[in-house]
Amino acid sequence: MELTLYDSYQRVKRPFIPLSDTAVGLYSCGPTVYDYAHIGNLRSYLFADLLKRTLRLNGYRVNHVMNITDVGHLVSDGDEGEDKMEKGARKHQSSAWQIAKYFEKAFLADLKRLGIGLPDTLCRATEHIEEQIRYIQALESKGFTYHTPDGIYFDTSKLKNYGHLARLKAQGLKAGARVEMGEKKHLSDFALWKFSGDVRRQMQWDSPWGTGFPGWHIECSAMSEKYLGERFDIHTGGTDHISVHHSNEIAQSEAKNGHVPANFWLHGAFLQLGSQKISKSGQSLLLRGLLEQGFDPMALRYLNLTGHYRSELNFTFEALKGAATALNRLRKHVASWPEGGEIDSDYAEQFKSKLNDDLNTPRALALIWKLIDSELPPETKRATLVWFDETLGLDLEYQAQLVIPQEIIALAEKRFEARSSGQWQQADELRQAILEAGFEIKDSQNGFTLESRV
C-alpha cells in the first residue's frame, strides 16, 4: 500500500516520504500563455492532477503551486530568438499583456472542463520580477554569473554536477560559441536576464544590470522558493523539460542554496500523433476543437488514463471515440445502480495499491471493469466506483445527476411531433437547435432520449 513514485533525478522508483508533516509541497511547470494549449500540453496537467488526487487518497494535504509563464520564454532553448509572448502578440495582433490574460483564461477554462483542480497558488512571472532579480543577485554574489552584450548568463562550468538530471556531459562543448545576440562561454550556459537593447519591448523592466526581462528558468526557481521554500517534495513537468528547463532550475538552486530544490522529479511522457509528439495547436487538436466535434472532454481524460503517465500515448480520433464509449458505459452503470451502499474494502485496497504503484492507471481502469462484472450488490458497486472516481476524476455520477432543462425537453417534444407528421425540415432545424444548446437527441421506437454533449 506504500506510495512509490519514479524519481527522474535518481532514475529509480522509490517510496514517497514527505519532507514535512504539515503538507506536501508540489510545484508544476505551467503554460507559456502565448496561444491555446493543445491536447498534448494538457496531458501534463492531467498527470499532475492525478498525482495530487493520489496524494490526497493517501491522506496527505497538498500545497500545489503552478506558474504562468507570461514573459521570458524564448522561441529557442538556446537563448536565441524573440520572446514567445512578443511573437504571440504579433500573431494575434494584440499586446503581449492582453494575450497573456486571454490565453491564461482559456487555459484555466480547459482545466475546468477536464476536471483538473486549480493549484493553491497560481503565480505569474510578470508579478515576481523583484524576486527573480534578487535570485540573480544571489547567484552573482556567489560567482556563478557573467555579463555579455545581450544579458547576464549562468556559468555552468562553475557547477560540478551540472546536468545530472538529464545525464548531460560537458565534454566536447565549445567555449565562446556565438549566439544570436552576444557570446556565451559554454554551450550549456543560459540566460538569467536578457537586455532589451535598442528594441522597445512590450514587457521590460529596470534591473541592476540594465533594462530587460528575466530568462525562462529563473522564474520557476524564484517562485517555487517563495511559495514552497528552498526544499519541497515534488516537481512535475513534461519529459521535454528534463534536458534544459529543469536541469537549469536545479543548477540555479544548487548554486544559490547548495542542494536540489525538489525531493522528487516526476515527468509525464508525450501524447503522440502517429510517430510525432503533438506540438502544434491546430484547431482539431485543441480541447475546444474536440468539443466542437461533439466529444465529451472527460473522454480525453479517460483516454489519458488508459496509458501510464511515463509512457507515450498515441492519440487517434478512433481511440477517443472508444474512450467516450467506455466512459458512457461507466456513467450508465452508476446511474442504473441504487445509492446507499458501502464501499467494498477489498476493491478499495486493490485500487489504492495500483495507484500507489507509481500511478498505474491502466491497472486501475482494469480493476473498474472487474468490479462491474463482479457479483457484488449493485449498491456496493456504485459506492465503490464513486469512491474510485474521487481519484480518477471522471465525473461518473454525471449521468445520474443530469437534469435536462425544460426548454430543451420542449424542443425535443416539438421535434418528435414534426417527425411524426413528416415535417422533416422543421425536425432537422429543431435537432440543430438542441445540438447547439449542448444536448444530443437520440430517436427510439417509443420516442426519444436526451443526453448532454459536454
3-state helix, strand, coil split of the chain in percent (to 5) is 45, 20, 35
pLDDT at position 172 is: 44
Position 439 pLDDT exceeds 70 = yes
CATH architecture of 4-271: 3-Layer(aba) Sandwich (3.40)
Beta strand pairing call for 232-238 and 262-268: parallel
Helix (H, G, I), strand (E, B) or coil at 139: helix
Q: How confident is the model at residue 437 (pLDDT cuts 50, 70, 90)?
A: confident
What mean pLDDT value characterizes the chain?
91
Residue 283 has pLDDT above 70, yes or no: no
Q: Is the pLDDT of residue 280 over 60?
A: no
Backbone angles phi, psi at 401, to 5 degrees: -95, -10
Give pTM, 2 decimals. 0.86
Which tens digits make up the pLDDT trace of 369-417?
A: 999 999 999 999 999 999 999 999 999 997 666 556 778 878 888 998 8
Query: Which pLDDT band holds residue 243 (cuts at 50, 70, 90)?
Result: very high
pLDDT at residue 265 above 50? yes
Q: How confident is the model at residue 170 (pLDDT cuts 50, 70, 90)?
A: low
- The confidence band for 36, taking pLDDT boundaries of 50, 70 and 90, is very high
Residue-level pLDDT at 174: 47
So where are the chain's domains? 4-271, 295-401, 406-452
Q: Which pLDDT does position 432 carry in this prediction?
A: 87
Q: What pLDDT is stored for residue 312 in this prediction?
A: 96
- Band of residue 246 on the pLDDT scale cut at 50, 70, 90: very high
Residues 287/113, Cβ–Cβ less than 8 Å = yes
Distance CA 337, CA 382 (A): 6
Sequence-ordered list of residues with C-beta below 8 angstroms from that of 112, at least 6 positions apart, any chain: none
The conformation of residue 74, written as its DSSP 8-state character, comes to B
What secondary structure does DSSP assign to 245-269, as a single string? Answer: IIHHHHHHHHHHHSS-SEEEEEEEP
Percent of the chain scored above 70 by pLDDT?
A: 93
